[in-house]
């Protein structure tokens, strides 16, 4: 039997953080709710970051406060520093639902770290180890993403050995999950197979391995398939192919949720998410932001058509 991948819907956070059009809080909540109804069980719902730096995420507290109270769904809040982890924990105060996971982020490049947070990559690892420990103390599931793991817009090539070293140091803080992100969409399947294979060998089996791809150069869906075959347990996707990093020049959208669902459905692997309903949500949301979305399956539909 083909093992089932877990899909994390990142559209409400990574998908919208760099959109030119400001999406209303109510529409963000409707997007999340409709994707849950389609079967998604893990979602990135916002960022606990400085709203001056990422203004599209300024309403994250309001979005989180309005989320459906579902015991079978896990909500992720992005955190870039310890203040962000504290804010994520505060979202749960007073018997509020809040977020379940602190999505911490470290970097694999000195140049990227210096440009965005005035840190070297090792400074970032050190801070993230503290963040993961703080998240656990605050009752949040601690997980971490290694950004620019396949290439940096400033430093260019990033050594796989460095990424493995970073992951091993992060693993000492016992996160439940470590993700590698192709933040600017430069990875190829061969590079993905190599890095995911190295990480799977280096990391304890108790730590989930997650992969996050952007489709900047058309490699996104091939990289998703390769990462899963190489041992990634969890795969990120963004409804309609929305996305782009405000800290990475030239970064375009994430691999589209509908395309990923089609890939696995036609390959005989269940995701637990209804592809047709995801397509319908994608088409609805294209109307909300008043532009067509880049997802191929969102435009063409499923096959065979039902």
Q: Which residues are catalytic?
A: 245
**Partners of 165 in the β-ladder:** none
């Amino acid at each position: 039997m083909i093992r089932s991948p877990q899909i994390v819907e990142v559209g409400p956070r990574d998908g919208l953080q760099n959109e030119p059009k400001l999406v209303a809080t109510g529409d963000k909540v409707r997007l999340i709710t409709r994707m849950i109804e389609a079967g998604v069980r893990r979602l990135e719902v916002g960022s606990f970051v400085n709203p001056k730096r990422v203004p599209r995420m300024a309403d994250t507290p309001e979005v989180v406060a309005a989320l459906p109270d579902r015991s079978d769904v896990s909500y992720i809040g992005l955190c870039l520093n310890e203040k962000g982890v504290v804010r994520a924990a505060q979202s749960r105060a007073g018997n509020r639902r809040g977020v379940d996971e602190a999505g911490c982020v470290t970097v694999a490049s000195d140049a990227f770290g210096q440009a965005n947070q005035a840190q070297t990559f090792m400074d970032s690892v050190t801070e993230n180890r503290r963040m993961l420990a703080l998240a656990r103390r605050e009752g949040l599931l601690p997980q971490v993403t290694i950004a620019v793991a396949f290439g940096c817009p400033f430093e260019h090539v990033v050594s796989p050995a460095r990424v493995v070293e970073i992951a091993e140091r992060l693993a000492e803080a016992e996160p439940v999950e470590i993700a590698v992100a192709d933040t600017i969409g430069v990875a190829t399947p061969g590079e993905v197979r190599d890095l995911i294979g190295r990480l799977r060998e280096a990391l304890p089996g108790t730590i989930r391995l997650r992969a996050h791809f952007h489709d900047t150069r058309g490699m996104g869906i091939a990289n998703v398939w390769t990462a899963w075959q190489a041992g990634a347990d969890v795969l990120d996707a963004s409804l309609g192919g929305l996305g782009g990093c405000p800290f990475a020049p030239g970064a375009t959208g994430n691999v589209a949720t509908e395309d990923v669902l089609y890939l696995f459905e036609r390959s005989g692997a269940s995701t637990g998410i209804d592809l047709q309903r995801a397509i319908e949500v994608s088409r609805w949301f294209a109307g909300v932001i008043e532009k067509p979305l880049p997802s191929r399956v969102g435009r063409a539909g499923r096959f065979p058509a039902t």
